[in-house]
Amino acid sequence: MHWEHLQTLLAVAKGGTLAAAGVSLGLDRSTVSRRLSALEDELGTPLFARTRDGLVLTPAGERARLTVEQMAESARGLSRLGGDDGGPEGVVRVAVTEALAPYLVEQGLLEVTRQAPRVQVELLAGNRRLDLERDEADLAVRLDPLTGANLKARCLARMPMGLFAAPAYLRTRGVPTSAANLAGHDVLLPSAELARLPEARWLAAQKKVRVALRSNSPLALLAAAKAGHGLVALTLPWGEREPGLERVLVLTRIPERAVWLVTTAAASKRPAVSLVADHLAAHFLSPRRP
């Protein structure tokens, strides 16, 4: 039985579709389908049922998923031995956007250092891409896969976008119930390198809105929104965790924001890097609630 077939089972179970599993594994849909069919042939039973909502585990598939997850955890435990009884050690440099840096800390990133006290995490926050192949960082959490010959990327999450505002702003200016009702409202726009984002372009194109602030700092835009200066576009998980904001609209016409975890083949072999990468992946798959 091939380990990559078992990994495919987990990816399809988490993603719900062959396409989503392919994104997380870095494979095309046909390869995922072929591996899944091979595993079902090896086990002699269907593992998934096709429904309107995607692929759903059969009872046999659920038992197989639990077994494979136990196998994967055991394998991770072996890989983290680091050659001695002390476990993984060293500094793991994680490149993230300015907006993601505080979010990851709040959601428990540093708990990984409790599991492995000799591991240190260094967060390198900013909108500029760091070059992993030039050893500027060990891991990157970014909005694109940063393709390269020596890079390995997996999709951590796909998050819908929405408009948010402070309750005081909405009481004063009213709550727009659709994009057509945005006329007359103040908006907070990403600028510079962030102006190319789909939500930034969409919001800038809305008719008769007033731009109250442009900034390449997501945290500045967030602060302005909390202070009641206008509407800001955020991912739903980010906006809904902010106590000073209310959701106004879900931007169904804006593509969901993909978040990628990227590393190099060489860095991924370091036990400390592997540990932090697994922790980040687990965070996005099962985010902590406020």
Which residue, 91, 87, 141, 99, is CA-closest to 121?
A: 91
| pLDDT (0 to 100) of residue 269 | 86
Which residue, 152, 89, 98, is CA-closest to 124?
A: 98
| pLDDT (0 to 100) of residue 289 | 41
Confirm if 239 and 166 have CB atoms less than 8 A apart: no
Of 106 and 90, the one with more pLDDT: 90
Domain ranges across the chain: 3-79, 90-156+258-285, 161-250
CB-based contacts of 155: which residues, under 8 Å, 6+ apart? 20, 23, 24, 145, 258, 259, 260
The DSSP output letter for 215 is E
Confidence category of residue 161, pLDDT binned at 50, 70, 90: very high
As a dihedral over the C-alpha atoms of residue 20, residue 133, residue 286, residue 17, rounded to 10 degrees, the angle is 10
Percent of the chain with pLDDT over 90: 38
Class of domain 161-250: alpha beta
Assess whether pLDDT exceeds 90 at residue 154: no
| pLDDT (0 to 100) of residue 127 | 73
End-to-end C-alpha distance for the chain, whole angstroms: 41
| pLDDT (0 to 100) of residue 247 | 95
3-79 shares its CATH topology with 161-250: no
Assess whether pLDDT exceeds 50 at residue 126: yes
One CATH from 1.10.3720.10, 3.40.50.2300, 1.10.10.10, 3.40.50.720 for 3-79: 1.10.10.10
Query: 139-142 and 90-96: which strand pairing?
Result: parallel
Of 201 and 20, the one with more pLDDT: 201
Confirm if 76 and 278 have CB atoms less than 8 A apart: yes
Region 146-161: what's the mean pLDDT?
A: 80
Of 176 and 148, the one with more pLDDT: 176
Domain 90-156+258-285 sits in CATH 3.40.190.10: yes
Question: What are the angstrom distances between the C-alpha of 35 and each of 22, 68, 129?
Answer: 11, 15, 34
- The neighbour count for residue 177, using CB atoms within 10 Å, is 9
What are the pLDDT digits (tens) for 222-275?
999 999 999 999 999 889 888 899 999 999 889 888 888 999 888 888 899 999
What are the pLDDT digits (tens) for 22-64?
887 778 888 899 999 999 999 999 999 988 878 899 999 889 9
Which strands form 151-159's sheet, in the order they lie side by side?
119-125, 90-96, 139-142, 257-264, 151-159
